[in-house]
């Protein structure tokens, strides 16, 4: 008779990952407390001295000439659309699978997203399909470095230069990701980073816009602060010279970000070590499609995203049901997996309804030409969407080999016993 250790946790067995083995993210240090408390004790709680310092320090860390600290990565993306001079009716290429902000930032400036399917192996925009998606109105490409893996920027830029397109890098998940020796955020005309709770650089919320182009930086700052031409540390006339938002960061958040930035290089090193170990531990596990790191890329493992090979496991039913049942079994083992994005972008209501601002705008704008959103035109994104689950925390500092190996034990336990899972019992009967 099998011992309790061999029984799946979802069936009442002992979990593979003991409680407390996986430590929370992010680690909080004495420097975090020192800088945040010093900001709290100061008298500049909106855009203050930590914001100015954070911009300079992040620009230096990432290798950019200009950096603007924002209240979110979404804000930084919208700043990129505006700063590249995009406007009503312009088309912008966006991957069919990403966070919604990668596409809604286009709508924010009355432009229209045109979706491009992803490459299943990398989950990034399929560079072979970019050129065929270009329309006479296409002005830019938003290329997303998803889950910490840089897109193939040489091929993206080759197409962009041929067609005179701007390139905006959505690097919100990819701090420190490298392609051919060069960090993301250094390749395109501008780039956006996020410092949300889950990100490899966490300041709670916030983001950063970066560029090496002074004119683009000036236009981005104008949108960032009410359409004004002077920044909060300059003499302002409080006159709106163009359409603007309030995308500035605050001093407390910037103080936290500055402290975390001092450890970001070490954090990424830890993630790469842990990611490599987990790949070695899980290699060859039947039914598991491991994430990839192509030659010339340095993955940061922001999100360790796996997929289920339905055919290898002999599953012919709804792929989401097997994925969801196996995910629940993994969670019962203490493996903190989850579905990051359960819809491809073209399937989201805002795009299918074509009614972002009411009365059909911006699609109905007289400067716009209709764009079709056929959800069946993106098979790789759809296949990924129904078969994936990911996780972040186990690969992050301060976690190390013990946490990684415990997670690997949980994966092996579930995948090696997948035939014992009663999907209907776990999820309930199909609706």
Query: Domain range spanning residue 160?
Result: 30-263
DSSP 3-state assignment of 253? helix
Find the helix or strand (DSSP H, E) in which 288 lies. strand 288-289
Q: Flag whether 158 is in a domain.
A: yes
Say how far apart CA 268 and CA 286 lie, in whole Å: 29
Number of domains in the chain: 1
- Rounded CA-CA distance 138/161 in Å is 13
- What CATH number corresponds to the domain at position 249? 3.40.640.10
DSSP string for 98-165: S-THHHHHHHTTT-EEEEEPBPTTT-SB-GGGHHHH--TTEEEEEEE-GGG----HHHHHHHHHHTT-
Question: How far is CA 287 from its chain centroid?
Answer: 26
Residue 136 lies in a domain: yes
CA 209 to each of CA 51, 80, 190, 260, 349: distance values in angstroms, whole numbers, following the listed order: 13, 8, 7, 18, 28
Q: What pLDDT score does 137 carry?
A: 97
Q: How far apart are CA 149 and CA 298, in angstroms?
A: 7
Note the helical H segments in 63-96. Answer: 73-83
**Amino acid 5: pLDDT:** 55
Exposed / middle / buried, residue 79 (Cβ in 10 Å: 0-12, 13-18, 19+):
buried
Residue 293 lies in a domain: no
- Token pair belonging to 266: 């070490």
CA 153 distance to own-chain centroid = 17
Measured distance CA(389)–CA(95) in Å, rounded:
19
Both tokens assigned to 181: 């020796």
Q: Is residue 420 part of a domain?
A: no
Tokens of 231: 């920044």
Beta bridge partners of 248: 70
Indicate whether 99 belongs to any domain.
yes
Residue 147 domain flag? yes
Asked, for residue 374, whether it belongs to a domain, the answer is no
Contact 225, 39 (CB under 8 A): no
| Beta strands at 190-194 and 207-211: parallel, antiparallel or unpaired | antiparallel
* pLDDT at position 242: 77
The two most distant CA atoms of the chain are separated, in Å, by 80
d(CA 312, CA 318): 15
Residue 3's pLDDT is what? 42
Q: Please state, in angstroms and rounded to a whole number, the distance separating the CA atoms of residues 275 and 273.
A: 5
Contact in structure between 225 and 219 (CB atoms under 8 Å): no
> What pLDDT, on the 0 to 100 scale, is given for residue 1?
32
Q: What is the pLDDT along the chain (431 residues), one digit of tens a residue?
A: 344 457 999 999 999 999 999 999 999 999 999 999 999 999 999 999 999 999 999 999 999 999 999 999 999 999 999 999 999 999 999 999 999 999 999 999 999 999 999 999 999 999 999 999 999 999 999 999 999 999 999 999 999 999 999 999 999 999 999 999 999 999 999 999 999 999 999 999 999 999 999 999 999 999 988 778 777 777 777 777 778 889 999 999 999 999 999 999 999 999 999 999 999 999 999 999 999 999 999 999 999 999 999 999 999 999 999 999 999 999 999 999 999 999 999 999 999 999 999 999 999 999 998 899 999 999 999 999 999 999 999 999 999 999 999 999 999 999 999 999 999 999 999 88
Burial status of residue 280 (CB atoms within 10 A of its CB: 0-12, 13-18, 19 or more): exposed
Q: Is residue 329 part of a domain?
A: no
In whole angstroms, give the CA distance from residue 187 to residue 169: 8
């Amino acid at each position: 008779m099998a011992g309790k250790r061999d029984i799946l946790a979802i069936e009442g067995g002992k979990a593979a990952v003991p409680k407390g083995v996986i430590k929370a993210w992010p680690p909080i240090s004495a420097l975090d407390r020192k800088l945040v408390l010093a900001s709290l004790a100061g008298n500049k709680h909106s855009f203050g001295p930590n914001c100015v310092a954070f911009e300079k320090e992040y620009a230096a860390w990432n290798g950019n000439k200009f950096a603007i600290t924002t209240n979110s990565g979404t804000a930084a993306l919208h700043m990129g659309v505006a700063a590249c001079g995009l406007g009503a009716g312009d088309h912008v290429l966006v991957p069919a699978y990403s966070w919604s902000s990668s596409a809604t930032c286009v709508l924010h400036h009355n432009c229209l997203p045109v979706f491009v399917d992803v490459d299943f192996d990398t989950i990034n925009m399929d560079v072979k399909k970019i050129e065929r998606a270009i329309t006479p109105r296409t002005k830019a490409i938003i290329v997303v470095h998803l889950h910490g893996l840089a897109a193939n920027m040489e091929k993206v830029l080759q197409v962009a230069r041929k067609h005179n397109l701007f390139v905006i890098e959505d690097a919100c998940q990819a701090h420190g990701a490298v392609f051919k020796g060069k960090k993301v955020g250094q390749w395109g005309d501008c780039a956006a980073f996020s410092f949300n709770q889950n990100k490899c650089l966490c300041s709670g919320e916030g983001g950063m816009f970066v560029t090496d182009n002074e004119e683009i930086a000036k236009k981005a700052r104008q949108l960032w602060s009410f359409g004004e031409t002077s920044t909060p540390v300059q003499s302002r006339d409080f006159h709106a010279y163009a359409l603007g938002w309030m995308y500035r960061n605050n001093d407390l958040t910037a103080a936290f970000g500055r402290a975390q930035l001092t450890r970001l290089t070490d954090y990424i090193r830890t993630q790469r070590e842990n990611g490599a170990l987990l790949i070695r531990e899980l290699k060859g596990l039947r039914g598991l499609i491991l994430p990839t790191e192509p030659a010339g890329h340095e993955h940061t493992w922001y999100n360790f995203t796996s997929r289920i090979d339905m055919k290898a496991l002999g599953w012919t039913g709804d792929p989401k049901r097997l994925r969801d049942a196996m995910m629940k079994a993994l969670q019962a083992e203490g493996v903190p997996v989850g579905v990051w994005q359960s819809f491809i972008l073209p399937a989201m209501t805002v795009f299918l309804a074509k009614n972002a601002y009411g009365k059909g705008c911006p699609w109905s704008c007289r400067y716009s030409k209709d764009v079709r959103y056929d959800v069946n035109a993106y098979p790789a994104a759809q296949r990924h969407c129904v078969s994936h689950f990911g996780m972040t925390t186990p690969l992050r500092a301060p976690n190390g080999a013990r946490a990684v190996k415990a997670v690997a034990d949980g994966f092996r336990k579930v995948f090696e016993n997948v035939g014992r899972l009663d999907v209907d019992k776990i999820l309930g009967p199909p609706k």
